[in-house]
Amino acid sequence: MMIKTWLEYATNTLVKYNIDNPQLEAVIILSSIFKKPKYWIYAFNEYILNKFYLNKINQCLNRRIKKEPLAYIVGFCEFWSLNIYVTPDVLIPRKETELIVEVSINKIYHNNINKILELGTGSGAISFAIASSNKFVNIMATDISEKAIQLAQYNLKQLNFTNIILSQSNWFNKIAHQTFDIIISNPPYISKQEYKYHEEYLKFEPKIALIAKNNGLNNFKHIISHSYNYLNNFGWLILEHAPYQATYIMHLFKKKFYNIQTYMDLNNKLRVMCAQKILHKNNNFI
């Protein structure tokens, strides 16, 4: 069987199982197995697939039609134009999460930012994206999961950033006597009810990175209440959240923080909120 024949077969199969972008996904499967760029697949589409490659790509296809995320099948995903290696031990970085990177970079450029803390880094995608845009800030990225930190270390080695420190910590538990100019987090914020509703698509990802108590709000309460003591004056706390959680998060911010700002994702839904610690209030900050 030639590549173009399998590509047509795989595309039709993925369409049958309601997989978005079926041809692109089929090409990505081929590209990952052959370890060749996507253009090679099109350029050499009359290449005859031997049994070894045919078995490999069919195994991948069978996993995909069972709704296993493509990123876990091929072992990586693209985030902020970076190849981020992922396993079922970490959440797959979403496109909408690039918004928190944009907000963070904006704060770096408009403020005197030297130290950043990311809570719940997972694969490290957010910290790596920020580091790729600014190599002069020092970033500490933490996660409760040892396996997540190990994977982030692998990604760090592949990307060769020198301004990131990775550490295993349950939120602030192992961060003593340090303060930061920015604290970032995309914490677990899905309720158990939401998880059950979307379980067909979420079941392959780690629950610890998805579900939070108190209707998905528990982690926000903890992070906001503790972050104040770990921020420098005029420091920013930046959070990703679900659209319906914005009112609750704003209520928590208003207890101690100033300059609360909200940002919408590509679907025009509230997705990121940030606020500033100001010991002596002054609103002339971006």
Give the dihedral of Cα atoms 224, 118, 232, 269; nearest 10 deg.
-50
Q: Which two tokens stand for residue 266?
A: 């590509």
Distances (CA, A) of 268 to 94, 189, 227, 263, 272: 16, 19, 28, 9, 11
Q: How many CA atoms lie within 13 A of 87 on its CB side?
A: 10
Cα–Cα nearest to 209, from 280, 128, 152, 270: 152
Q: Is the domain covering 89-276 a CATH 3.40.190.10 domain?
A: no
Over residues 208-231, mean pLDDT: 95
The Cα–Cα gap between 140 and 201 comes to: 31
- Confidence (pLDDT) at 201: 84
Instruction: Assess whether pLDDT exceeds 90 at residue 200.
Output: no
- Residues of the chain with pLDDT > 70: what percent? 98
Indicate if the alpha-carbon torsion angle 22, 86, 205, 73 is positive or negative. Answer: positive
pLDDT, one tens digit per residue, over 43-91 is 999 999 999 999 999 999 999 999 999 999 999 999 999 999 999 999 9
Predicted structure pTM score? 0.93
Instruction: Assess whether pLDDT exceeds 80 at residue 284.
Output: no
pLDDT, one tens digit per residue, over 237-268 is 999 999 999 999 999 999 999 999 999 999 99
> Could you tell me the pLDDT band of residue 281, with boundaries at 50, 70 and 90?
low
Largest CA distance in the chain: 71
The answer to whether the CB of 263 falls within 8 A of the CB of 99 is yes
The Cα–Cα gap between 92 and 85 comes to: 9
Cα–Cα nearest to 65, from 116, 140, 15: 15
- Confidence (pLDDT) at 283: 47
Instruction: Assess whether pLDDT exceeds 50 at residue 274.
Output: yes
Q: Which two tokens stand for residue 272?
A: 């990121």
Domain ranges of the chain: 3-66, 89-276
Instruction: Assess whether pLDDT exceeds 80 at residue 146.
Output: yes
pLDDT, one tens digit per residue, over 159-188 is 999 999 999 999 999 998 899 999 999 999
Instruction: Assess whether pLDDT exceeds 70 at residue 282.
Output: no
> Could you tell me the pLDDT band of residue 111, with boundaries at 50, 70 and 90?
confident
